Chains A and B, each alone.
Chain A
Amino acid sequence: MVATTIAHGHDLNLLGLADTEHEGPAPKRIVTGYGFWIFLLSDMVMFSCFFAAYAVLLGQTAGGPSGAELFNLRSVAVETTCLLLSSFACGMASIAAEVHSHLWFQIAMAVTCVLGLAFLAIEFHEFADLVARCARGPRRAFLSAFFTLVGCHGLHVSAGTLWLLTMMAQVFAKGFRADIQRRFLCFALFWHALDIIWVAVFSVVYLLGSAV
């Protein structure tokens, strides 16, 4: 009897149930970050549907020009570099926010914003060029899938840029309060996730789309 009690107590201890002190709920920063992480994953699931549509409709050009004839890989390389460097600048802003350095935070965020806007400008120019070249002729499932997927990513970057400017203003006006820091954590996650989706876009849409 005694032996079983000891064994039982030992088991409880192993499971961590014998602890009298409970941790309580997780800090708000962890809960917020985790919730936003789940939102980002669901966003990626939505993008995966657009990717699937693009991959399926890649050949449906209705006799029109294919991706290899339409895409300008040089400008895609410039776009990729802009977004990658802006993701890095956003990382620097996270470090500045951690050590509460106002100056470096605003500088890093300004660089992030400029690079994001450069990305958007090149993408807009590319879209205008494609529309001018493809407006005539039959409607093509390939182009619909292309504009939906890349346009959806562009919309995300535009929304992210607005959020970025809001964060700069909030940190300027309210300082590095805990709630502002949580908002900035979510923004940084969002911006890095957009870069991950862009990796899939330039690989699948542009590089594979021109190779096929």
Chain B
Amino acid sequence: MSDVHGLPHQPDVAPGDEVGGIRLHVLGYLTGLGLALVLTATSFFVAGTDLVWQPSIPVAIVVLAIAQMGVHVVFFLHITTGPDNTNNVMALAFGLLIVFLVIGGSLWIMSNLNHNMPPMDQLMLMQR
């Protein structure tokens, strides 16, 4: 990105590249690993427990999965919100848009079709 406000120019960063020393890098990966392990364990615990209100479980699993993907993107792929990362974030945002359109759209359309379809026994009668 070009500097707009006369600040010294900062070159772009490739996705996966990180700035800082070795110790900081290792610490970053360790933080990511710890967070991911905690989120995974919580996910598996929530799926198999009776302690949580049952209807909330699918929502909890989805939320935990999205949180863990965020952890992976930040700590392993090093996609940040910094000015040197704008291009990477814009590409990611577009990818996410398509992903949500495909998954959300499919679920919406198919549930609508299922809802509007007559029950199976009536359908059998109509085919005769």
Contact = CB atoms under 8 A, between A and B. Distances in A.
Interface of A: 13-16, 23, 26-27, 29-30, 32-34, 36-38, 41-42, 44-45, 48-49, 51-53, 55-56, 73, 77, 80-81, 84-85, 87-88, 91-92, 94-95, 98-99, 185, 188-189, 192-193, 195-196, 199-200, 202-204, 207-208, 210-212
Contacts of A29: 14, 17
Chain B at the A interface: SS class: helix
List the 3 closest A-B pairs by CB distance, nearest first.
A33-B14, A41-B95, A203-B65
15 contacts: A14-B5, A26-B11, A29-B14, A45-B95, A45-B98, A55-B103, A55-B107, A73-B47, A73-B48, A98-B22, A192-B72, A196-B69, A200-B65, A210-B47, A211-B57
B121 to A, nearest CB: 16
Contacts, number: 145
Given A34-B88, A48-B99, A208-B58, A185 B16 contact: yes
Contacts of A56: 106-107, 110
Contacts of B13: 30
Interface string B37-72: 100100110011000000001100110110011001
Nearest to B25: A95
A3 B69 CA distance: 54
Contact of B95 (A36, A44, A87, A98): A44
Contacts of B73: 196
Contacts of A199: 40, 65, 68-69, 72
A204 B65 contact: yes
Contacts of B76: 87, 91, 192, 195
A52 B110 CA distance: 10
A84 B126 CA distance: 53
Given A37-B15, A95-B22, 8 more contacts: A29-B14, A30-B12, A45-B98, A48-B103, A52-B105, A52-B107, A81-B37, A87-B72
Contacts of A208: 58, 61-62
Which of A32, A52, A91 has most chain B Cβ within 10 Å?
Answer: A91
Contact of A30 (B14, B47, B102, B110): B14
A52 B102 contact: yes
Given A189-B16, A192-B77, A211-B61, A88 B95 contact: no
Given A48-B102, A52-B106, A33 B15 contact: yes
Contact of B106 (A33, A34, A55, A210): A55
